[in-house]
Chains A and B, each alone.
Chain A
């Protein structure tokens, strides 16, 4: 009985893939034929739309509409039945738990972005001179392929805590105890638990920053660095005045990508501490309001705040991109 239902499920998944992607291909194929019948002048004007419309429709249905709806709901009460004005926003910016979440998120933003980008850059520049570069880089990049939840599970073991006197199964506490210290409650000590969580994200993102920055560093012509050397620049001056400015656009892209990722972070907090003990971030707060407390108004307001926080980052990114295109 169990077997047949599994097989059925597998079959329906396969057919979904076949009909789903086949449908898209058929759609474009038919649309292309239709457009090709049009007079050539109209064709060049209509053709881009033919290819873009399906994507626009999907984006509209699954991104734009929900966004608009979220914005509307954020001005309504718990059950989305009556208008409450800015109450939900007032809550978001005054509630103690929310303020903790904001504080934590700023901590996350500054530390994760700052440390993973600078560590990534440092490793990228240093690795450039190392013999076993590919191996070393692979090791550092490896965490990147682990999901946030997976990484959190790994780090739960790293941070695991047993009361003094009992064998420590957590790596960090095992080291601490063997060195003669008391075991540390990494995730329960309010002074360090946020940093313990942030460390996980840094561990995950440094590899990403390193790979992108490393390719940017390698893209700097060797001649330019040598010219700077001939111009009597020290290695330190070369780093600050030649390397950094030349890879600045990559630096910006990497930083903004990590900023956006950090703003969305939720899984690590959810798995490690469940947001308890002052470790809440905005996104985990949003999930709680929305699905634990069933307060759609507040949840939506927090979502809108997150969205607004991301916008300046995206604007900076797009503007930079346009500049680059213009300079080409």
Chain B
């Protein structure tokens, strides 16, 4: 168990490129924190700085209150699972898992027992005599995790450990890692570019973009209350629809005007946005908050708009439909699979006005 604190941590390279900028992050004892973002966002660099594989340009990194900036990886008591698994090709699986313990001078009987226990836990007992190249991708991934578990480290770092698995195996491995975290009750820091992995596994998620931490929160809160346009667009699939808009007062009411779209702001929220009247804003609504009228569930705050169907993607459990407004603006909706939709047809869809987001286009922050 480790309490990890990033304090204004920055990584910049000789050529001036800043990979991570002023990262502040407080990771609790038994947390499963997921670092997520598009490639090149600095998530892996942050993880590697924590591992000690990458130097820290400025700022402080603390593990359990101790500043570790200048400590080597071996002094940090942290285990890491690599994307490539990085198993030692010349060693058997047993030796791979035992390597770290051997270096520590752990008694042989103890090593045997711990490796055996970890292997049993991961279901790889019968592979212990094999070499890494005789294993399948899924098996190698387990060994890589096993190698980390055996050490009983104070924190686990994982750098996209599932990205080399096929889709089915990935779902299974996801659940297994979550179970493992519950069992071990240790700090897990997990890097991924896949927001589904982030949402399903993380007890908290840190979203990064271009070296800057965008938002840290529970999956639920990230989804419901994104801080800015990037987080709103990154979390959720398909991504949130955005419309360039302005706020217009009409009598008592307040309208969002975006091209052909004219959406009234519900009375309860009106006071919140009063001060933004006349300024440009971004109106965002998730595809799953747009319904075909026949299948709209109760409890939403429907507002009907007209749009033309351009593409229909039948997924089985849902339909993803590409819709076009009269002004040509395209947006997506995730609707009930029973909906009858034909490309080219003009239909009416209901927006749930309990669930929309307004952002400031210059700062991209959410309007509060």
B78 at the interface (CB under 8 A from A): yes
CB contacts under 8 Å to A, within B54-85, are 72-74, 78-80, 82-85
Does B109 interact with chain A (Cβ within 8 Å)? no
B104 adjacent to chain A (CB < 8 Å): yes
Contact of A231 with B99 in the complex, beta carbons under 8 Å: yes
A241 to B98, CA, bound (A): 13
- Residues from chain A with a CB closer than 8 A to the CB of B100 are 231-233
* Contact of A230 with B84 in the complex, beta carbons under 8 Å: no
CA distance in complex: A73, B99 (Å):
57
Known: A231-B100, A233-B103. Contact between A224 and B88, CB under 8 A? Answer: yes
Q: In the bound complex, what is the Cα–Cα distance between A248 and B91 (angstroms)?
A: 13
Cα separation A221 to B132 with both chains bound (whole Å): 14
In the complex, chain B residues whose CB is within 8 Å of the CB of A246: 88-90
The answer to whether residues A234 and B74 also contact, given A227-B80, A229-B53, A327-B133 and a CB cut-off of 8 A, is yes
Is the Cβ of B82 less than 8 Å from the Cβ of A226?
yes
Q: A230, A237, A245: which contacts B80 (Cβ < 8 A)?
A: A230
Task: Select which of A228, A230, A248 is within 8 A of B88 by beta carbon.
Answer: A228
Residues from 183 to 238 in A contacting B, C-beta threshold 8 Å: 221, 223-224, 226-234, 237
- Contact across chains for B86 and A226 when beta carbons are under 8 A apart: yes
Q: Are A223 and B86 interface neighbours, CB within 8 A?
A: yes
Given A226-B53, A246-B89, A327-B133, residue A231 in contact with residue B103 (CB < 8 A): yes
Say yes or no: is A242 at the interface (Cβ < 8 Å to chain B). yes
| Contact A221/B84 with A230-B79, A231-B100, A232-B104 known, Cβ cut-off 8 Å | yes
**B-contacting residues, A41-95, CB 8 Å:** none
A220 to B74, CA, bound (A): 21
Interface pair B74/A232, CB less than 8 Å apart:
yes
B147 at the A interface (CB under 8 A): yes
On chain B, the residues within 8 Å of A221 by CB distance are 84, 86
Is B51 positioned at the interface, with any CB of A under 8 Å from its CB? yes
A279-328 residues with Cβ-Cβ distance < 8 A to B are: 327
Closest to B82 in A: A223
**Nearest residue, chain B, Cβ from A248:** B90
A177 to B90, CA, bound (A): 52
The reply to whether A223 and B84 contact each other, CB–CB distance below 8 Å, is yes
**CB-based contact B73/A230 at 8 Å:** yes
- Least CB separation from B97: chain A residue: A231
Contacts of A237 in B (CB 8 A): 103
Give 1 or 0 for each of B235-276: 1 = CB within 8 Å of chain A CB: 000000000000000000000000000000000000000000
Cβ–Cβ contact A227 & B74, under 8 A? no
Q: In the complex, what residue of chain B is closest to A230 when comparing beta carbons?
A: B80
B86 close to A229 (CB less than 8 A): no
The contact string, 1 if C-beta is below 8 Å from chain A, for chain B 90-120, is: 1100000001100110000000000000000
Contacts of A234 in B (CB 8 A): 74
Q: Mark A226-269, 1 if CB is under 8 A from B, else 0.
A: 11111111100100011001101000000000000000000000
A223-B82, A224-B86 in contact; A232/B133 too (CB < 8 A)? Answer: no
Complex contacts, B84 vs chain A, CB 8 Å = 221, 223
User: Which residue from A223, A226, A228, A327 sits with its C-beta under 8 Å from B99?
Assistant: A228
Alpha-carbon separation in the docked complex, A118 to B53 (Å): 28
Q: How far is the CB of A218 from chain B (nearest CB, A)?
A: 15
Chain A residue with minimal CB distance to B78? A230
Residues of A within 8 A of B72 (CB): 229
* Nearest B residue (CB) for A242: B88
- Of all chain B residues, which has the CB nearest A225? B86
Which of A229, A241, A248 is close to B74, meaning CB atoms less than 8 Å apart? A229
> Is the Cβ of A229 less than 8 Å from the Cβ of B88?
no
Q: How far is the CB of B7 from chain A (nearest CB, A)?
A: 23
Q: How far is the CA of A227 from the CA of B73 in the complex (A)?
A: 10
Sample (23) of A-B pairs whose CB atoms are under 8 Å apart: A223-B83, A223-B85, A224-B86, A224-B89, A226-B80, A227-B147, A228-B88, A229-B74, A230-B51, A230-B78, A230-B79, A230-B80, A231-B147, A231-B151, A232-B73, A232-B103, A233-B74, A233-B100, A233-B103, A237-B103, A246-B88, A246-B90, A327-B133
List 6 A-B pairs, minimum CB-CB distance, nearest first.
A223-B86, A232-B74, A231-B100, A227-B86, A245-B90, A230-B80
6 further A-B pairs in the complex, CB-CB below 8 A; given A223-B83, A227-B86, A246-B88 = A223-B82, A223-B84, A226-B86, A229-B72, A232-B73, A242-B88
